[in-house]
Amino acid sequence: MTLETGQLFDILFASSADGLLLTEADGTVMRCNPALASILGKEETEVKGHNVREILDADSSFEGDGQGSVDNFHPRNAALFCANGLGLMMPMAHFPVPAENGSPKAFLTVVYIVQAQSVQQAQTEFVSTVSHELRTPLTSIKGFADTILRAGDRLDASQQRRYIGIIKDQADRLTRLVEDLLAVSRLESRKMQLTIRALPLDDAVYRVCQNLADKSARHQLSIKIPPGLPPVWADSDRLEQILTNLIDNAIKYSPQDTTVTITARALHQKPELVEFSVNDQGAGIAPDYLPQIFNKFSRHDNPLTRQTEGTGLGLYITKSLIMALDGNIEVTSTPGSTTFTVQIPAATLEQQAARGLGLA
């Protein structure tokens, strides 16, 4: 059986889960598929004959370029005028259908309903999670502030100091959450600026460990970095942020009096990379949870995690920063041992010379 082009188009038009709209060059609707008609709350025949601007608020998308080339379509976000009167934002693309003389004869508009629903669901879940994370410290701050205002004259100095200390701790927790959310926003919008240069990895590791000295007082930090390790191509602040997140997590999520080991090495089979790892002697991560470990707001449910405050954004930010540096990260875990292994570009002498000449 041979399908003609028109038959194939009819099948795709009728069965597509995304919205399809075929319009004349002036914007008059010739055909509307069932998926789009359902979102509009209309029958397909009710849409026919109307101007596309009565359905989609995307004026700039419907100007022909006179060339009739599919290569010149411009994706847009369009507000779709639904039956309830709301303008629902959805991604769309606009394709000219050329006539024999090359000018647009018609336009095919694709409204990505499936993608929009997935994005909307993800945004809803993100807002819900952020709201929950914000509510917890805010509840503590409000509760203890109200107590001090209501009964301050009946509280002794030690009680007042304790309540004020709790308020400060929760305010610090809010600050960390906001900073993490801003970091996520900059990473996802690709607005985070990086200053890449050759950096000694050992200097960064020792500096981070010194900064975490108070937190690691009841842990042993073992640093194993061989002499002669090539420097790495990285942004200084972001490299320290990566190391801080990984080492701080290892300290927080492993029992006291255990060892956190930071190891680095050159990869002889991959001289363009340097590898470092952070190992802890904690409870480990369940195998079925490992694929989720780098997701936003992901926190493994174990006794140490439940006792430790966190935003669930640290590993997501860490992986995003490593990828921004053209590196990669992996995690392996068994009961009593978890290792995060990072590979980032090495700044070998050859690469430094090439970069200095503008060749790398």
DSSP for 8-38, please give it. Answer: HHHHHHHH-SSEEEEEETTSBEEEE-HHHHH
Residue 101 has pLDDT above 80, yes or no: no
Q: What is the predicted pLDDT for the residue at 108? A: 87
Closest by CA to 39, choosing from 86, 93, 2, is: 86
Q: What is the pLDDT of residues 336-350, one digit of tens each?
A: 999 999 999 998 776
CATH topology of domain 118-188: Helix Hairpins (1.10.287)
Is residue 110 within 8 Å of residue 18, measured between CB atoms? Answer: yes
- List alpha helices for the chain, DSSP H: 5-15, 34-40, 44-47, 113-151, 157-188, 201-211, 236-252, 303-307, 314-324, 349-356
Task: Name the range with the highest mean pLDDT among 21-30, 141-150, 316-325, 330-339.
Answer: 330-339
Task: Name which of 119, 65, 120, 70 is nearest 93 in CA terms.
Answer: 70
The residue behind tokens 């920063």 is 321
Fold for domain 196-356? Answer: Heat Shock Protein 90 (3.30.565)
pLDDT 10s digits, 119-139: 556 556 666 667 767 787 888
Which tokens belong to 265? Answer: 């090495």
pLDDT tens digits along 177-206: 887 777 777 776 667 788 889 999 999 999
Give the per-residue pLDDT at 331: 94
Residue 349 carries which DSSP code? H
Question: Residue 300's pLDDT is what?
Answer: 56
Which residues, 6+ apart, have CB-to-CB distance to 135 below 8 Å?
none
* pLDDT tens-place string over residues 202-244: 999 999 999 998 888 899 999 999 999 999 999 998 999 999 9
pLDDT of residue 311: 60
Superfamily of domain 5-111: PAS domain (3.30.450.20)
Q: In this predicted structure, what is the pLDDT of residue 258?
A: 95
The predicted model gives 66-80 an average pLDDT of: 48
Q: Which two structure tokens, joined as six digits, stand for 237?
A: 């602040």
Q: Delimit the domains of the chain by residue range.
A: 5-111, 118-188, 196-356
CA-to-CA dists, residue 130 to 124, 175, 286, 300, 335, angstroms: 10, 13, 25, 18, 31
Average the pLDDT over 136-159 and give the result.
86
Give the torsion through C-alpha atoms of 248, 254, 257, 258, to 10 deg: -90
